[in-house]
Amino acid sequence: MTGSAGKRSAAGIELLGLSRKGVGRNGEVGMIFKNREEAGRKLAEQMQAYAGREDVIVLGIPRGGMEIAFPIAQVLGVPMDIFLSKKLGVPGQEELAFGAVASDGSRYLNERIVRVAGLEEQEMERITASTLRTLREREARLRAGREPLDVTGKTVILVDDGIATGASMRAAVRMLKKMNPAWLVVAFPVAPVGICPRIRREVDEVICLEEEQDFFAVGQFYQDFSQVSDEEVIELMKKAEHCGAEGAKLVVNSRHEQRAEEAAAALRAAGVRAVGVAADISRPEDAQRLAETAVREFGGIDVWVNNAGINAIGPSLEIDFRDFLRVLEVNLAGCFAGSQAAG
């Protein structure tokens, strides 16, 4: 089901409640995503202002953030890359971070933790160097020879699969800002109440689908929160690179042949490979013909979009029943036929 309308809770922060709910630890109602891909597509719906822009880059934080970043990059039609950072742990209390380091050597220090832990500069340098070696080894494995995208002067959308305390994200933001992006957006599906305003103070825009009061772990808001392997991250990087190199290829449909061909011709004039097909999406045989055209012309289907829709206008008691059935045929049967054909 579709969600409720978005609401702006503070300047630059988008909060968008969804209608599918689950029960939290204290009996509070909270939203639940099917998986990270669904969460990414929900986020992408709120980023249309960034679609198709040459200055936009999506950065995913491995590992879970990559499964959020990939559908966002797909929907927006922009490049995707990884952003690697690793926390710097206090000796003997490694879970307590006194800072973080990015793979390019940029470092963020939490001066309060440094002071309380009594860390000396020499010790911090030793830990930083060791952490950086590990981080760069992992980056080399994940990139598999691909060069990092240059974010200087670009609009950067930094993505993760959720925020718990915000400390890691804030450290990543501070390191990323040293690379001089022109505009920095941070996006994540869910966070505890109060986190978004703190992050907003350090970036240009925060996009969050929902803040939750009853929050104890990011995974509670996903039906499937399976661990993402390095191999899966590498595969997502390959897919993103392939999509960027290949460009979009479209099969355009209308019930009217002339309209379908005119739309396809306009896309071809803009440099997009496109084919126009006249079909009635509410008929299974026509939906199947669309699918067969995509496979024949372009080798397969990555995304199937159905925005066909009609409405019977007027008081419900005055609408002819046949008109109402036609609404169901196009709006519901069309989606069903398209899903079967694309599958």
Cα separation, 212 vs 75, in Å, equals 26
Given this model, what pLDDT does residue 20 score? 43
DSSP codes of every residue in 315-331:
-GGGS-HHHHHHHHIII
How large a percentage of the chain has pLDDT more than 90? Answer: 18
Instruction: Quick: pLDDT tens for 78-104.
Output: 888 888 888 888 998 887 778 888 888
Cα separation, 61 vs 53, in Å, equals 21
pTM (two decimals): 0.60
DSSP 54: T
Instruction: Quick: pLDDT tens for 313-342.
Output: 667 677 777 777 777 766 677 777 777 777
Given this model, what pLDDT does residue 181 score? 95
Span 261-277, average pLDDT:
69
Amino acid at 239: K
Cα separation, 230 vs 63, in Å, equals 7
Closest of 159, 158, 160 to residue 218, by C-alpha: 160
pLDDT band at 121 (very low <50, low <70, confident <90, very high): very high
Cα separation, 209 vs 162, in Å, equals 10
Kindly compute the dihedral angle of the four CA atoms of residues 164, 1, 291, 295, in this order, to the nearest 10 degrees.
0
Other Cβ atoms within 10 Å of 263 Cβ, number: 16
How large a percentage of the chain has pLDDT more than 70? Answer: 80
| Res. 38: pLDDT tops 70 | yes
Instruction: Quick: pLDDT tens for 215-242.
Output: 877 888 888 877 777 777 777 777 666 5
User: Which residues have a Cβ under 8 Å from the Cβ of 115 and sit 6 or more positions away?
Assistant: none
Given this model, what pLDDT does residue 208 score? 92
Q: Which residue did the predictor score with more confidence, 300 or 326? A: 300
Amino acid at 339: S
Given this model, what pLDDT does residue 11 score? 40
Cα separation, 107 vs 35, in Å, equals 32
User: Which residues have a Cβ under 8 Å from the Cβ of 342 and sit 6 or more positions away?
Assistant: 291, 301, 304
Given this model, what pLDDT does residue 133 score? 92
Cα separation, 84 vs 205, in Å, equals 21
Beta bridge mates, 184? 156
Span 45-71, average pLDDT:
87
Cα separation, 208 vs 215, in Å, equals 15
Q: Which residue did the predictor score with more confidence, 188 or 332? A: 188
Reported in sequence order, the residue ranges of 126-272 that DSSP labels E, i.e. its strands, are 155-159, 183-192, 205-212, 249-254
Span 58-82, average pLDDT:
86
Span 105-122, average pLDDT:
89
> Are 228 and 33 spatial neighbours (Cβ–Cβ below 8 Å)?
no
Span 241-261, average pLDDT:
71
Q: Which residue did the predictor score with more confidence, 317 or 137? A: 137
Instruction: Choose the weakest-confidence range: 79-88, 202-211, 295-304, 305-314.
Output: 305-314
Beta bridge mates, 191? 211
Given this model, what pLDDT does residue 316 score? 67
Q: Which residues of 59-85 are buried (b: 16+ CB within 10 A; e: fewer)?
A: bbbbbbbbbbbbbbbbbbebbbbbbbb
Cα separation, 230 vs 232, in Å, equals 5
